[in-house]
């Protein structure tokens, strides 16, 4: 009974009733992320996400919205990605009206107090410092930079410190006016609620959001002729690395087969990489594989934190598993296990109202279409071993290989010699 409605101003509303739920979630998404930025304002999407909590026309005192949400016993937060930003709250179902009003207020009516902007600069810079001191996270950003370089897809979402120090109130006002418009906004409500009553409240809150033309993001440029390595020296106790390849965009019909491929490779504790690198080599605590697909680009990743002495051996093992996928068909029993693992985890996630909201909202904000869980499951179950091998043969080639490493290495050229399939 999922219902999608488009208002006259272009705002999209998705209602996902779940009568048995004890909670309800409000999620507001907007097509504004780091890929919509220019170099001069890189980081503004994320900075703005912080600032909306610092005061609105209805609640000008900083901290008021957080205090009210805390008093409701709500879970709430905001997040910024490459292609969209989100604001959400989850509470007991009878408190839906309150959290809807609060989330809409911070989204629609921020005032960006100058004093709070100055304070928040320090917060953002410390967040960037935290990421720099977290190589498990930092290496993921380095991998994106390696692939895409000096363009929005290759920039850090949090931005650069020198930019954060220079952004002014006028920059936030202008950016918000340009991107936080009705046609670029999706409001999702999931869980236990009265649909007609909730729709009336959403109309009352969001009907005045302006219908303005939405500025698109710059097209991502792809350019690679051979294996690439980005290595950063850090005196850490563990080497963190990401090995991956360029892939395709999120609307490519091969995406379901790619998801199954990455699950076979590193989707669980019985996956090929986990078994080989953790169980057999004893070289890592975490090892996983995945794919990140966007509107006009995408990539696969294998991530691990490994013993310095075994780094080369781990990379060789990863490459060997990629060769195996190129060479052999995944056996029927293993293919079934991977599909069942994916479907089981997916269905378990949809038990909660916040995950339901994220599932439908994430589809709408990127693809402007909705796929029912049952349809997604059918498409996963329909993936054949020959499709997986075809993707492996297309993606796992020398000219698409990339490796980002953080660890105590001063001569990274040794890693480039390993990148051969």
| The predicted structure's pLDDT at residue 412 | 74
The Cα 259–Cα 346 span in angstroms is: 12
The Cα 79–Cα 357 span in angstroms is: 14
CATH annotation of 228-418 = 3.30.830.10
| pLDDT for 414 beyond 90 | no
pLDDT band at 215 (very low <50, low <70, confident <90, very high): confident
Closest alpha carbon to 222 in 153, 122, 134:
153
Query: Which tens digit of pLDDT belongs to each residue from 293-305?
Result: 999 999 999 999 9
Q: Which residue do the tokens 């921020």 mark?
A: 110
**Using CA atoms in the order 383, 386, 223, 267, what is the torsion angle rounded to 10 degrees?**
50
Q: Which segments of 108-178 are extended strands (E)?
A: none
The Cα 40–Cα 167 span in angstroms is: 9
| The predicted structure's pLDDT at residue 1 | 86
Architecture of the 3-206 domain: 2-Layer Sandwich (3.30)
| The predicted structure's pLDDT at residue 305 | 98
| The predicted structure's pLDDT at residue 371 | 96
Q: Three-state DSSP class for 302?
A: strand
pLDDT band at 213 (very low <50, low <70, confident <90, very high): confident
| The predicted structure's pLDDT at residue 271 | 98
Minimum mean pLDDT among 71-75, 107-111, 408-412: which range?
408-412
What ranges do the domains of the chain cover? Answer: 3-206, 228-418
pLDDT band at 410 (very low <50, low <70, confident <90, very high): confident
| pLDDT for 204 beyond 90 | yes
Query: What value, to the nearest 5°, has the Cα angle with vertex 244 and ends 323 and 364?
Result: 120
The Cα 114–Cα 125 span in angstroms is: 17
CB within 8 A of 227, min separation 6: which ones?
398, 399, 401, 402, 403, 416, 419, 420
What's the average model confidence in pLDDT over 329-335?
98
| The predicted structure's pLDDT at residue 411 | 79
DSSP assignment of 17-81: E-TT-SEEEEEEEES-SGGG--GGGTTHHHHHHHHGGG-BSS--STTHHHHHHHHTT-EEEEEE-
pLDDT band at 13 (very low <50, low <70, confident <90, very high): very high
């Amino acid at each position: 009974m999922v219902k999608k409605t488009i208002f006259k101003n272009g705002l999209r509303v998705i209602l996902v009733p779940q009568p048995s739920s004890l909670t309800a979630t409000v999620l507001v998404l907007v097509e504004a992320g780091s890929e919509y930025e220019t170099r001069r304002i890189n980081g503004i999407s994320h900075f703005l996400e912080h600032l909306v909590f610092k005061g609105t026309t209805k609640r000008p005192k900083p901290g008021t919205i957080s205090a009210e949400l805390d008093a409701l016993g709500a879970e709430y937060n905001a997040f910024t990605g490459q292609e969209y930003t989100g604001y959400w709250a989850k509470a007991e179902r009878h408190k839906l009206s309150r959290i809807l009003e609060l989330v809409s207020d911070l989204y629609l009516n921020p005032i960006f107090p100058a004093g709070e902007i100055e304070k928040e600069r320090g917060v953002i810079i410390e967040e960037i410092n935290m990421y720099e001191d977290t190589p498990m996270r930092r290496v993921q950003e380095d991998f994106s930079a390696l692939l895409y370089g000096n363009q929005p897809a290759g920039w850090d979402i949090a931005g650069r410190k020198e930019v954060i120090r220079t952004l002014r109130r006028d920059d936030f006002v202008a950016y918000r006016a340009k991107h936080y418009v009705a046609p670029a906004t999706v409001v999702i409500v999931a869980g236990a609620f009265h649909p007609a009553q909730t729709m009336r409240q959403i109309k009352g809150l969001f009907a005045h959001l302006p219908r303005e033309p939405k500025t698109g993001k710059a097209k991502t440029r792809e350019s690679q002729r051979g294996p690439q390595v980005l290595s950063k020296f850090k005196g850490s106790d563990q080497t963190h690395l990401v090995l991956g390849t360029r892939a395709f965009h999120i609307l490519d019909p091969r995406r379901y087969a790619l998801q199954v491929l990455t699950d076979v490779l590193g989707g669980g504790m019985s996956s090929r990489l986990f078994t080989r690198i953790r169980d057999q080599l004893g070289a890592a605590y975490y090892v996983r594989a995945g794919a990140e697909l966007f509107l006009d680009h995408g990539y696969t990743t294998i991530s691990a934190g490994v013993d310095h002495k075994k780094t080369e051996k781990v990379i060789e093992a990863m490459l060997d598993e990629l060769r195996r996928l190129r060479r052999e068909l995944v056996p029927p029993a293993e293919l079934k296990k991977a599909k069942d693992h994916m479907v089981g985890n997916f269905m378990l996630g949809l038990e909660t109202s916040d995950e339901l909201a994220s599932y439908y909202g994430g589809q709408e904000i990127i693809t402007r279409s909705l796929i029912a869980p049952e349809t997604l499951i059918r498409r996963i179950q329909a993936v054949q071993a020959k499709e997986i091998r075809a993707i492996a043969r297309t993606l796992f080639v020398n000219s698409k290989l990339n490796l980002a490493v953080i660890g105590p290495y001063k001569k990274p050229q040794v890693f480039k010699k390993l990148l051969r399939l």
